Amino acid sequence: MDRETQARTRDCLPEGLGEAIRETAGAIAALLDGAPDMTVPVPGLEWTVGETAAHLALANRLMADLASGQERVYGDGTPQSLAAANAQSLVDFPERAAEPLAAMIVEQADVFLDGVDRAVADGTAGRKLATPLGPMDQDVLASYLLTHMLGHGYDLARGLRRPHMIDEMRVGLCLPFLKAAMPRVVTASALTARYTVRVRGGAAFGVAFADGRVEVLPDPPERSDCTILTEPVAFLLIALGRLGPWQAMARGAVLAWGRKPWLAPRFPTLFDAP
């Protein structure tokens, strides 16, 4: 991608998002560079490093196709169907070598950003795109791509025992997707409660539960039952099911207060991370 195209893409997406996508894809490729063994297991997953990298490469290609306006059927939006689609895609795509997978991850991230740029150029940037988690505009889809890469980039870093690439700035760029996905992955619950969620260094928002449904509010609710303050990296890892709430609280990465502070550890259990 040349500098002129990069500049246009920066104008097409929220500030920093295009650059974060490119840099995260590059950081994942760097993780894989020289990986001694792609068959080692990834802690917490049923996949090896090679399978995780293959899934990332395929997911980036899927996102790139969606950004270009192509329709791709990939499950029905439920975590179970997405897991089945993931498993089948790995059967159909046997590549597990580090170098070609790293190249594909970077290439498809660039193809995604090219698709965003073309959509702006032809006046279709505002359209809703069909994704595995429902219709999204291109800004939220780009946030989805970044979130997905960061989640599995973290997995690869753990499997390879190398530093991960999640930081405060990138977590902030994941928030549009995470907030959009919450109503789609909420689990059935009789809970009625109103939360204020604050990510340290970023904006606060509200999450209201009633009758098994959830509403994400742009601002904190007037009468919040529980306020949760989370360190950014911990917030993303909890949201993606990589870190338990009690672990995070024990580390001091999560604080809670309000009329019902005991509701804090329950919050992440009310969602089924895709």
Do 74 and 25 lie in a common domain? yes
Do residue 167 and residue 256 come from a single domain?
Answer: no
Q: Would 241 be classed as within a structural domain? A: yes
Distance of CA 63 to the CA centre of its chain: 12
Among candidate residues 149, 173, 197, the one where a domain is terminated? 173
- CB–CB of 177/147 below 8 Å? yes
Q: In whole numbers, what is the pLDDT of the chain averaged over residues?
A: 92
Return d(Cα 274, Cα 271) in angstroms, integer. Answer: 9
In a domain, 142, yes or no: yes
Closest Cα partner for 104 from 55, 41, 142?
55
Look at residue 2 in the predicted model and tell me its pLDDT: 52
At 130, list the tokens.
Answer: 């069909």
Is 70 exceeded by the pLDDT of residue 88?
yes
Residue 60: the pLDDT is 98
Residue 95 lies in a domain: yes
Kindly state the helix (H) or strand (E) to which residue 215 belongs, with its residue range: strand 213-217
Percentage of the chain surpassing pLDDT 70? 95
CATH number at residue 40: 1.20.120.450
Question: End of a domain among 124, 148, 173?
Answer: 173
pLDDT at residue 8 tops 70: no
pLDDT tier for residue 1 given thresholds of 50, 70 and 90: very low
State the pLDDT at residue 69: 87
Residue 63 three-state SS: helix
Q: Report the pLDDT averaged over residues 1-30.
A: 79
Confidence of residue 11 (pLDDT cuts 50, 70, 90): low
Residue where a domain terminates, one of 139, 173, 207: 173
Mean pLDDT (whole number) for 82-103: 95
As a whole number of angstroms, the longest Cα–Cα distance in the chain is: 53
Residue 3 has pLDDT above 70, yes or no: no
pLDDT reported for residue 39: 97
pLDDT tens-digit series, residues 160-196:
999 999 999 999 999 999 999 999 888 867 899 999 9
118/32 same-domain check = yes
CATH number of residue 222's parent domain: 3.30.1050.10
**Could you give the number of structural domains in the chain?**
2
Bigger pLDDT: 52 or 83? Answer: 52
**Does 255 map to a domain?**
yes
Residue 45, in any domain of the structure = yes
CB 144 within 8 A of CB 182: no
pLDDT at 7 over 80: no
Query: Tell me: the pLDDT tens digits for 103-161?
Result: 999 999 999 999 999 988 888 778 899 898 999 999 999 999 999 999 999 999 999 99
Residues 26 and 158 in one domain: yes
Instruction: Confirm whether 178 is domain-assigned.
Output: no
For residue 194, what are the domain limits? 186-270
Residues 60 and 153 in one domain: yes
